[in-house]
Amino acid sequence: MSGPDNKHLKKNSIQLKIGFLMILAVILLTATCYLLYRNLSSIVSSIRIDETPELRLLSIREISTDIEKAGNSVRIYTITKNPKDIKPYYTFISSIDEKVNRLGLECNNDSVLLVQTDTISNLIEENIRIWNKLLVLSRDNNVIGNLRQLSVHLDSVSGTLRKQGILKRVFSLSADTSHIEKDIAADLENIVEQNRETRDELAVRELQLAKNSSVITGKFYDLITKMENEVYERIQAKAEAAGVVADKTYRWLVMLSVSGGLLAILVIYIIIRYARNAYAYQIALENAKDEAEKLAKTKELFMANMSHEIRTPVTAISGFTEQLLHESLNNDTNSSLKVIKSSSDHLLKIIDDILDFSKLQSNKLALEKVHFSISQILSEVRSMFERQAQQNNTTLSYWLDPKTPEVLLGDPYRLKQIMINLISNSVKFTINGIVHLEVTSIRKPAEEIDLLMEFSDTGIGIDESKLNAIFEDFTQAEMSTTRKYGGTGLGLSIVKKLVELQGGTIDLKSKKNKGTTIVCRIPFSKGDEKLVKKDISPPVRVPEEISGLKILVVDDEEYNRMLFKKILDRWKIKCRLTGSGMEALDVLKEEKYDLLFMDMRMPGIDGLKTTRFIREEMGISESDMPVIFISAASMSEDLQKFKNGGINAFLQKPFTEEMLLSSILTVTGNKIQPYFGEAVVTDNKPDGEGKLDLHNLYHISGSDEQFVKQMLISFITTTGKGLNELREAVTKQQWESASDISHKIQPPCRHIGAMDLYNLLNKIERTIRINGNTGSVEALAENALVEFGIVSRLLDDHIAKIS
């Protein structure tokens, strides 16, 4: 199974696991809630039920207290005979029935308690009978009257009370009462009559009756205690049952909590593991992305370096071979040189193809948009292949439709490249035939046209079966073609990509041994004739009196030295170039110079120390040999220090021809105030979409393209080398050295208008000098390398155009 499928399955499996566990957690939570609800409800309901027995107990206690009070009241009355003391007894008697009935109602649901209540009721009844006997024994007629009155009252209200109430049963029977009265009266009369001396004996009997009452009361209390105990036992039993339920609930709760906790830990573990894996994948992905970007940058840099590293020596070989071919040499040497020339040119072509292809593949090829003359391009292309066509005995011609606008707006270099590639192929594959290019245009609205170019030849043609593959990369019609005619198989592929890049189309028709016709259609805007690139401002007028000067230039940057050499040679000024302060001192020991250009910052001894040595140790005065200090940095802050060090004037890098001349005139002519040159401010149209501005270089060169080419090659070499040194210094954390290197390579960048690169280098220098390493220098250095890759590619394109 493939990698992505595995990852997909793994991701799904994690989602399923988490989903399952979450569902489990929800079920567990629901079960816990239900269990808790059920058990808590049970406990609450048992508590509610227990409220009732407590009320019954209260009633029992109240009755018990009342009985005790009544008993006490009777006992006190029997002793004191005070009617006040018997009142609590009457109150008890009047309320006891109601209270016992209430207790009966409260115990209505409990048969055991109901039986007990009846027993209590009977005991109270019996007790009251005894108390009544005691009261009668105390011979108080009021009592009997009161009791009778009470009985009548009770009879009248008996409808609302229990039918078989205690008092009713005790007092309602008047016959019984009169019977007791008669009995007691008879007894008393008998006793009074029979033996008044037996009063003490009667007292004993009263005491015995009281004892009987006490026994009955004790029984009553026993019953109440028994009832209370029973109620308490029930409460206890319910409490125990509730405790069992609570324990059970607690156990369930613990069990469910532990399960829930474990589940949560499991879910968290899975999520953390997933997050960690996801983080690790993300880091790996980011690293891979960084690595890929780094590789892409390295590739770009490598391509840029390769373009230079291969092209420069090959260009030199080709150029010098051409020079040698012009010299009169013997035939053998001449033919060998021709082979070298042809081989090196061929190699250059291959390098250009590969570089273009690489740029097109990575969409890095930028199109220019300039005004150009189509007829000029056609003429140039024809002249390029005229000789080769003649050698093949082939007629090369073109026709430009007069209706086609003369000036177009677009990329003339890429248009020319398309023409060159196609005509080169036609000429190469056509012997004793015709190669013709016909250029017409189709008008479109709003100043737009489609340029139609028909390339036709009567060459070897292409087999129809191979037509579809002909525009593919590294493809030639047949293997034998490569062997016989050479080439990379990239030509037509590049053409197709270039046409499409410009928004055009390309069609090919061919027949084996009949010839080939290729039609390209590319959209362009109409151009403005006034804006067609023409060369540049007039050269600087150099006064004759400076022609005899002898100047020493000290600068470790080769680009600057070459620039000096070119300009000074043109002005017919003798100059010697040195790359270090030490070298300059050695030269000055041997030779006198009229003027010295001294770079400020150089490896070894810096410019100021060298100048000071020249002035103080070698005794060369300012009038004998003025020193013009050159630097990319602003001089204003250290102006006085430099003047004290024997510096006569300053020239800021990068400089223009006018600035250089002005500085020379300042120190050699009228000895006027030193010239403080300003940095070149370029407002000309930039090259390479604002990445470059070569106008000043062209201006200085006096339209010498070979010089410009040489300077650009020098720029690529020295700046590339400098940037590699910079990277090494940054890697080794040699910040001082890194700062010096970035300082050193800034001026040439500024001079060719590579301002992005210049700004990066300037920032590196400033960052190190102001803050030390802040951690951003590494990134800046990498960016500078990438920027250099872009600049060097643009320069390569420019060099190729010059070539």
Which positions touch another protein (CB under 8 A)?
A: 582, 585-586, 589, 604-606, 608-609, 613, 617-618, 641, 645, 736
**Nearest distance from residue 609's CB to another protein, in Å?**
6
**Nearest distance from residue 619's CB to another protein, in Å?**
10
**Nearest distance from residue 334's CB to another protein, in Å?**
39
**Residue number with CB closer to another protein (529 or 736):** 736
**Residue number with CB closer to another protein (265 or 618):** 618
**Nearest distance from residue 352's CB to another protein, in Å?**
41
**Nearest distance from residue 558's CB to another protein, in Å?**
22
**Nearest distance from residue 599's CB to another protein, in Å?**
15
**Helical H runs in 508-604?**
558-570, 581-590
**Nearest distance from residue 737's CB to another protein, in Å?**
9
**Nearest distance from residue 760's CB to another protein, in Å?**
23
Structure tokens at 535: 């060369």
Residues whose CB falls within 8 Å of the CB of residue 167, separated by 6 or more in sequence, listed in order: 93, 94, 96, 97, 128, 150, 151, 154
Give the integer Cα–Cα distance in Å for 559 and 419. Answer: 35
Q: What is the DSSP string of 130-179?
A: HHHHHHHHTT-HHHHHHHHHHHHHHHHHTTTS-TT-HHHHHHS-HHHHHH
Quote the Cα angle for 376-377-380, to 5°.
85
Per-residue exposure over 155-168, b if at least 16 CB sit within 10 Å of its own CB, e if not = eeebeeeeeebbbb
Give the integer Cα–Cα distance in Å for 136 and 78. Answer: 9
Give the integer Cα–Cα distance in Å for 668 and 623. Answer: 9
Give the integer Cα–Cα distance in Å for 607 and 108. Answer: 123
**Residue number with CB closer to another protein (89 or 613):** 613
Residues whose CB falls within 8 Å of the CB of residue 675, separated by 6 or more in sequence, listed in order: 649, 650, 651, 659, 662, 663, 665, 666
**Nearest distance from residue 564's CB to another protein, in Å?**
24
Give the integer Cα–Cα distance in Å for 425 and 437. Answer: 13
**Residue number with CB closer to another protein (689 or 736):** 736
**Nearest distance from residue 575's CB to another protein, in Å?**
23
**Nearest distance from residue 673's CB to another protein, in Å?**
24
**Residue number with CB closer to another protein (163 or 589):** 589
Q: Please provide the distance, in angstroms rounded to a whole number, between the alpha carbons at the two ends of the chain.
A: 55
8 Å CB contact between 796 and 311: yes
**Distances, alpha carbon 589 to alpha carbons 577, 592, 593, 609, in Å:** 15, 8, 11, 16
**Residue number with CB closer to another protein (171 or 629):** 629
**Residue number with CB closer to another protein (10 or 592):** 592
Instruction: Verify cis geometry, omega within 30 degrees of 0, for the bond prior to 654.
Output: yes
**Residue number with CB closer to another protein (604 or 690):** 604
Best CA proximity match to 781, nearest among 716, 746, 731: 731
Coil, strand, or helix at residue 436?
Answer: strand
**Residue number with CB closer to another protein (410 or 645):** 645
**Residue number with CB closer to another protein (574 or 601):** 601
**Helical H runs in 363-466?**
374-391, 412-429
**Residue number with CB closer to another protein (171 or 613):** 613
Give the integer Cα–Cα distance in Å for 540 and 504. Answer: 44
